[in-house]
Amino acid sequence: MSLLPVLREFDDGLAREMTSWMERFFDEPWWTEWPRPVSALVPAVDVVDAGDRYEVRMDVPGVTKEDLEVSLEDGQLVIRGEKRAEAHGDGARYHWTERRQGRFVRRIRLPEHIRAEAVTAALKDGVLTVTVPKTEGASARKIAIAEG
């Protein structure tokens, strides 16, 4: 297969635009050319079945316990929080920033067999751990399949 027919049909305007962009990329500082990454503040969560309880672990580095709220609402564990911007001296300006700040909410549907009154939360080393104890009858059971 020959590439020549494809090259003949290549958009000349696109080639000029790409060349211009590449020249600007190498001539100007990198932080002026690249767009700022767009992503919401959504802390990562792990949900672990630890036998007699569930453990919900959320990464919240830089968030204090005063900026977190944990509640149970309509069968869901709801974690609300806010990561505040760091204070900088006068005249400080960013050339690039990827670390997010702002408010967040995570909702995790819980099974029916939990002890809501015994749920606890602890914050240590930037990880929020919410412990959700199971009720006595919450163990899994095998269901027999009948013929017929």
50 shares its domain with 117: yes
- Indicate the pTM of the whole model: 0.65
Specify whether 77 is located in the same domain as 105: yes
Q: Examine the domain organization and report whether 67 and 124 are in the same domain.
A: yes
Q: Which residues of the chain have pLDDT under 70?
A: 1-15, 24-40, 137-141
Asked if residue 110 lies in contact with residue 132, where contact means CB atoms within 8 angstroms, the answer is yes
What pLDDT is attached to residue 1?
Answer: 42
At residue 117's C-alpha, the angle toward residues 116 and 122, to 5°, is 90
Residue 144 lies in a domain: no
pLDDT value at residue 36: 45
Burial 104-138 (b: 16+ CB within 10 A, else e): bebeeebeeebeeeebebebeeeebebebbbeeee
76 lies in the same domain as 126: yes
How high is the pLDDT of residue 121? 96
77: CATH: 2.60.40.790
